[in-house]
Amino acid sequence: MGKLTGFMEFKRETPTRRPVDERVHDWLEVYEDFPVEKLKTQAARCMDCAIPFCHQGCPLGNIIPDWNDLVYREQWRMAIDRLHATNNFPEFTGRLCPAPCEAACVLGINDDPVTIKQVELSIIERAFDEGWVKPQPPEKLTGKTAAVVGSGPAGLACAQQLDAAKQEVQVAQSQGNGKKANGATAKTASKPAASRRS
């Protein structure tokens, strides 16, 4: 774990939201940047629970205590490797997920939960800044093609897994109202999150 007494010493702190009057005129990030030192302090609140309920809370099974500890120790490269082990697109989930991991966090029983989502987002943004996120095209393809319907985060994650399994992949987007997919696109438009991996 990060700091043994971190959860007793530090209070939860999250990034400041930009003023609403400003935000309604653009599609830029909702939150101000969060300094690294503050983030490390937040990661230090993680208790590395013997039974980490955050795991059960996360639909992806993200290995949350590990990367909280790695961020506290500034082991960013290992942190992104650990995050990518269970999460194809942390740049999406770190922005759009309602964070059931935080609702499940053991620290939340009698205090504010760990700021897991902010730690996640900061790890992937650091990885992009450092140039650690690279395309990983398969060396050869099987010659078969798989179709994925829906280009939201789940559809794209499915496509990425198929790509890793050496399948040609065609992703189709529904012409319905597609509220979730459109929302994802809009919220990540400030940093073209959807195109940074191509």
Residues found near ligand SF4 in the complex (CB under 6 A): 46-49, 52-54, 64-65, 68, 105-107, 114, 116
**Which one, 24 or 50, has the nearer CB to ligand SF4?**
50
Q: How far is the CB of 1 from ligand SF4 (least distance, A)?
A: 8
**Which one, 24 or 51, has the nearer CB to ligand SF4?**
51
Q: How far is it, in rounded angstroms, from Cα 29 to Cα 187?
A: 7
CB 67 within 8 A of CB 44: no
**Which one, 112 or 163, has the nearer CB to ligand SF4?**
112
Q: Which helix (H) or strand (E) holds 16?
A: none
- Pure H helices in the chain: 6-9, 20-23, 36-43, 53-57, 64-72, 76-84, 90-96, 100-104, 116-130, 153-164, 179-187
Q: How far is the CB of 66 from ligand SF4 (least distance, A)?
A: 9
Q: How far is the CB of 50 from ligand SF4 (least distance, A)?
A: 9
* Residue 70 one-letter amino acid: L
Q: How far is the CB of 69 from ligand SF4 (least distance, A)?
A: 9
In the numeric block, which tokens belong to residue 142? 């099987």
Q: How far is the CB of 192 from ligand SF4 (least distance, A)?
A: 30
Q: How far is it, in rounded angstroms, from Cα 14 to Cα 5?
A: 20
**Which one, 47 or 162, has the nearer CB to ligand SF4?**
47
Q: How far is it, in rounded angstroms, from Cα 44 to Cα 2?
A: 5
**Which one, 79 or 116, has the nearer CB to ligand SF4?**
116
